[in-house]
Amino acid sequence: MKIAQRAERIEPFYVMEVAKAAASLAGKVAHTRDPMIFLNIGEPDFTAPPLVQEAAARAIRQGATQYTQAMGMVELREKISGWYASRFNVDVAPSRIVITAGASAALQLACLALIEAGDEILMPDPSYPCNRHFVSAAEGRSVLIPTTAEERFQLTRAKVETAWGEHTRGVLLASPSNPTGTSIAPEELQRIHEFVHGRGGITLIDEIYLGLSYEEHFGHTALAMPGELGQNIISINSFSKYFNMTGWRLGWLVVPEVLVPVIERIAQNLFICASTVAQHAALACFEAESLAEYERRRGEFRARRDYFIPELNRLGLTVPVMPDGAFYAYADSSHIARRWGIADARPDGTGGSWDFAFELMKRAHLAVTPGRDFGHAAPEKYIRFSTASSMEHLREAVKRLEAVIG
């Protein structure tokens, strides 16, 4: 059978290979003193709060399960608009909000609407791999630009200007970012967008971790930029991370008004609509009781960060930039890997942090994610820890790391 070239361009999601190996070993050690601890997947250990669960059950009981319009329920779009106003003090018209089947569908819709075959999209390296694969699926090409810890692993206007070429269509950013948990400083983000907008390009920004910001300087949506700049940002968001609804597959997209009918037309054909039950449930996310619970959980995520990152640094797994959001720690494992006799990166992607992750799994029954998925800028040096697990698991992980590292 002949496979389409666009499918061949999509690289494997290597984190899943690690996850499969971890799951296999977990079954073997489940009843030992040291069962597997999973710090490899970016999924909150919290589930949807009670009011959200009750709203879903009520929708099913009442038969509110038929299609909605492709843009999503008007009431939900209004609730999201109100959340932007109360949380970020920014006016986002409900008419600009499109409810989608997760942030993945939002990115797919944006890429299909805006990217032509051969268009280049600039992205930071490291970055979340699926984002660049959405560009590939739309026949575009992602251009990964290496970033440094001093730049918070984010693009700068200077680097965007230097990399901008004949085929460049725009930039795809993430703030806070996976895998680093770092955000772009608002003033730098505005400088980037001013340049891109001035060149007639597009600025897409993944803000799915925005609700999980911990530092006042960084916790602002790109939609808050003044005037025409804010009106022309394309923001991707989700109910998965801050709202703890991962498997519900619900997200949203904020686009310029001129793009709304285009996105609606594509969504009608590709998705019909996002899950109706999930949409009814999400209405309850914005009740005062639910929002209070989300803020309590945000405080817990921050406490986990504040405990775990200094412990990694103490053990020699250095996190070069303190994450200001999300629930990740991007740690340099190269020093420990060399001490363990692990070779540096090989052409096939093994060695370095890849082998270190499997060795850590074996020695400490601890699953982490090697840097291989996240780009080409020294991925062999870094591993990503997820701090979305309980404090109990994080303390036990530190204990095991200390035992095997010394």
DSSP track, 268-330: HHHTS-S-HHHHHHHHGGGSHHHHHHHHHHHHHHHHHHHHHHHHHHHTT-B-SS---BTTEEE
What is the model's pLDDT at position 7? 84
Look at residues 167, 143, 136, 140 and name the one whose alpha carbon lies nearest to residue 9. 136
What is the model's pLDDT at position 328? 98
Q: How do the pLDDT tens digits run along the chain, 406 residues long?
A: 988 888 888 887 888 888 888 899 888 998 888 899 999 989 999 999 999 999 999 999 999 999 999 999 999 999 999 999 999 999 999 999 999 999 999 999 999 999 999 999 999 999 999 999 999 999 999 999 999 999 999 999 999 999 999 999 999 999 999 999 999 999 999 999 999 999 999 999 999 999 999 999 999 999 999 999 999 999 999 999 999 999 999 999 999 999 999 999 999 999 999 999 999 999 999 999 999 999 999 999 999 999 999 999 999 999 999 999 999 999 999 999 999 999 887 887 778 999 999 999 999 999 999 999 999 999 999 999 999 999 999 999 999 999 999 8
- 171 vs 160: CA distance, rounded Å: 8
Contact 209, 74 (CB under 8 A): no
DSSP track, 327-344: TEEEEE-HHHHHHTT---
Look at residues 384, 378, 389, 376 and name the one whose alpha carbon lies nearest to residue 330. 384
- 48 vs 249: CA distance, rounded Å: 12
Nearest-Å Rg of the Cα atoms of the chain is: 21
What is the model's pLDDT at position 393? 97
Beta bridge partners of 32: none
Print the SS3 string covering 176-227: CCCCCCCCCCHHHHHHHHHHHHHCCCEEEEECCCHHHECCCCCCCCHHHCCH
Contact partners, residue 54, CB within 8 Å, separation at least 6: 284
Angle at which helices 352-364 and 14-29 pack, to 10 degrees? 10
What is the model's pLDDT at position 335? 94
